[in-house]
Amino acid sequence: MNSQPSSCKTVIKVIALAAWLTAQAKDYSQTLPAFTAYAHPSPDDISRHQNGSITDWHGTLHWHVLCEHTGELSVRVIPLENQSACTLSLTAAGSTQTAPMQGKPVAFSITIAVAGYVELMLSCTAGQAPGLQELVLSGNAAQGLRASKVERRNCASVHLAYEVQKADADSVEWFYCELTPRTDPIWTYYMATGWSRGYFGMQVNAKSERRIIFSVWDSGNEAVNRAKVKADDRVQLIAKGEGVEASDFGNEGTGGHSHRVTPWILGGTFGFLVHAKAEGSRTTYTGWYRAPLARDWQLIASFCAPKDGALLHGLYSFDENFAGANGDVRRDCEFGNTFARTTDGAWHELSDAHFTHDGHGKSLRTDRSGGVHDNRFYLRSGGFAVDNDPSAVTHYGDLLQRKPSGSMPAALQALPIPPSMPKDR
């Protein structure tokens, strides 16, 4: 057998070495638009532009990236054109670096020792904060790096889809759920009793305002402007409780909206109750609210929905950040004593629920979970943190189960009387 000449072996080794070096030098760089940053201390103290850039920012900018690999991470800050000289400071992975920016890109290098979410905090320590176009992330730690690259900064919406026995699916007329808020960032909506035609829960609308909200969708396919909805497709307000404001809503489908400003507090357990009464092709949906330790139900509103005629389907709860400027803050709530009553008068405990999330939570915002704690379902989203609770699930469709209590809540022993459906339109 003839052996290969030594020159051929040398060539093969050189080619192999070149291939290895090429693999090691693989470009893992990713671009992160500047407008994906969160502004602190004021979430709205910044100007964001459609081309991905930001201007007029103050304080500190925060980006969050999920690093699946450790090693070096280069952060190259790209300014807009014609920016004044300044000094920038980047804090990340336990270290702070400072560098001058003379109207040109400036790079920082940090070491990622532990895989997971990494927070990049950028501030201007001297001069005027520059307009920024993007961050370019590279290095071994950028391999497989995940981050939201769209302007939406909401954390993922997360949901509980309750299981109802097939035999009862078309006969649910009452739906009850107890909701306990554990955190209360502004622009949060914890929804307790949702169904295919509406939703009912509690919001944080401003630092000084909280609401109980009950809404029902119109018929038809109009997504934005209720003025375009035909009269025979509109839900009709039948009744509303004391202090309740009723109006239209749009931009997420259209319908009838009602709310009452209520200074609800953290840690309290609030009861939400929805009733459906079908008559021909119409269904009247009514929502009542019960504050902690209260004896009586408070009517929020009652709406007659046209082109319906069904009872309550698709029972669910959710945790939502409805305005995205502070989607980096954790939202946490619990749901317990979830029951449905069918037309035969029997109450059925809903102790199984499937965890789901919106499309933004598929891969861009994985800081979301659901679970069972103290025999209550919980939903958590935001904060760019992994949920270490052993009961936590994060995959779309995962089943959550709690132990049935075996007894109907005392709140349901005296049900309120629904308003009457109007005789004609």
pLDDT of 23 above 50: no
Residue 300 belongs to a domain? yes
For residues 154 and 381, the answer to whether their CB atoms sit within 8 Å is: no
pLDDT on residue 129: 96
Tokens describing residue 16:
């192999």
Shared domain check, 253 and 164 = yes
Q: Are residues 138 and 163 in the same domain?
A: no
Looking up residue 70, the CATH number of its domain turns out to be 2.60.120.260
Distance separating alpha carbons of residues 347 and 250, to the nearest angstrom:
34
Same domain, 95 and 212: no
Confidence (pLDDT) at 15: 58
- Answer yes or no: do 126 and 206 share one domain: no
CA distance 349 to 268: 22
Residue of 388, 396, 392 whose CA lies nearest to 371: 392
pLDDT, greater one: 19 or 322: 322
- DSSP letter string, 250-306: -SSS-EEEEEEE----TT--EEEEEEEEEETTEEEEEEEEE-TT--S-EEEEEEEES
- Express each pLDDT in 355-368 by its tens digit: 999 999 998 899 99
Average pLDDT value for the chain: 92
SS3 60: strand
Q: What is the pLDDT of residues 155-192, one digit of tens each?
A: 999 999 999 999 999 999 999 999 999 999 999 999 99
Q: Report how far apart, in Å, the C-alpha atoms of 120 and of each of 47, 365, 378, 403 are.
A: 19, 16, 29, 42
Tokens 């504050």 label which residue? 291
User: In the structure, what pLDDT confidence band is assigned to residue 21 with cuts at 50, 70 and 90?
Assistant: very low
Whether 166 and 106 map to the same domain: the answer is no
Assign 393 a pLDDT band (cuts: 50, 70, 90). Answer: very high
Residues 131 and 212 in one domain: no
Per-residue DSSP letters for 343-388? TTS-EEE--EEEEEE-GGGTTT---EEEEEETTEEEEEE-SS----
Token readout for 21 is 């070096």
Q: What domain count does the chain have?
A: 2
Same domain for 184 and 110: no
State whether 199 and 279 are in the same domain: yes
CA distance 37 to 20: 37
Higher pLDDT pick, 345 / 25: 345
User: Tokens 């629904």 map to which residue?
Assistant: 418
Asked if residue 270 is part of any domain, the answer here is: yes
Beta carbons of 69 and 140 less than 8 angstroms apart: yes
CA 354 to CA 368: how far, in whole Å? 14
User: Which residues contact residue 196 at a Cβ distance below 8 angstroms, ignoring those fewer than 6 apart?
Assistant: 312, 313, 314
379 found inside a domain: yes
Helix (H) or strand (E) holding 230: none
Q: What is the pLDDT of residues 240-270, one digit of tens each?
A: 999 999 999 998 899 999 999 999 999 999 9
**Does 276 map to a domain?**
yes
Integer distance in angstroms from the first to the last C-alpha of the chain? Answer: 99
Report if residue 282 sits inside a domain. yes
- The tens digit of pLDDT for each residue in 29-56 reads 999 999 999 999 999 899 999 999 999 9
In a domain, residue 256? The reply is yes
Residue 378: pLDDT above 80?
yes
Last residue of a domain, one of 142, 174, 195: 142
My answer on whether 296 and 171 are in the same domain is yes
**Residue where a domain stops, chosen among 142, 171, 192:** 142
Residues 173 and 130 reside in one and the same domain: no
Non-local CB neighbours of 329 within 8 Å, separated by 6+ positions: 155, 183, 185, 382, 383
Domain boundary among 142, 176, 194: 142
Predicted local distance difference test score (pLDDT) of residue 17? 55
Assigned domain for 222 exists: yes
Please tell me whether residues 19 and 138 are part of one structural domain: yes
- What's phi and psi for 12, nearest 5 deg? -60, -45
Report the candidate in 346, 235, 347 with the shortest Cα–Cα distance to residue 284: 235
Locate tokens 């209520």: which residue?
A: 262
Residue-range definition of the domain harbouring residue 301: 158-412
Q: Can you count the helices (H) and strands (E) in the chain?
A: 1, 29
Residues 96 and 224 grouped into a single domain? no
Report if residue 421 sits inside a domain: no
